[in-house]
Amino acid sequence: MTDKNLKTLIVLFKTQKNLNRHIKKSLQGSGLSVNEFAALEALYNKGDLSVNELLNYVLIPNSSMTYVVSSLTKKGYIEDYLKPTDQRIKCLKISAVGRVVFTRAYEKHYAHIRKQFDVLTSEEEAQLVTLLKKLGHSLEGSI
């Protein structure tokens, strides 16, 4: 076997599995699923988005997004409206209640996840970001 085996892929998968476990733990008690949190985070940081735009920020299937949007709307965390310039497009915005819920959840989430990432030095974390972006861009262009 050569030095260029797929050990990196296995390490990435194991890391992703463990990171997902920590993300779920960081959201315990918030009343939010990982997908709901991700949708609120996108709306909080990017502002109002169409459902299709939200799909680009939250990497979940369209069918799951429908459920997430419905759930967040029922909870009163987001509101929907038709885009004024094109009434066929449904837009979403985070509500005042949603902002409060997201902010509380994010503070706990950030502290928990930051603690996990602090095993890396600032330089190592910056290098990891650079390498993951390089790999990600290469993978995007190769399909």
* pLDDT tens per residue across all 143 residues of the chain: 456 778 999 999 999 999 999 999 999 999 999 999 999 999 999 999 999 999 999 988 888 999 999 999 999 999 999 999 999 999 999 999 999 999 999 999 999 999 999 999 999 999 999 999 999 999 887 76
Find where tokens 């600032």 sit: 122
Residue 14 falls inside a structural domain: no
Residue 53 falls inside a structural domain: yes
pTM confidence score: 0.86
d(CA 22, CA 28): 10
Question: Could you list the residue range(s) of the whole structural domain that residue 57 is in?
Answer: 24-141
Query: Residue 76 region, left (φ>0) first, then alpha (ψ -120 to 50), else beta?
Result: left
Residue 104 falls inside a structural domain: yes
Query: Which CATH number belongs to the domain containing residue 130 in this structure?
Result: 1.10.10.10
The number of distinct structural domains making up the chain is 1
Residue 63 falls inside a structural domain: yes
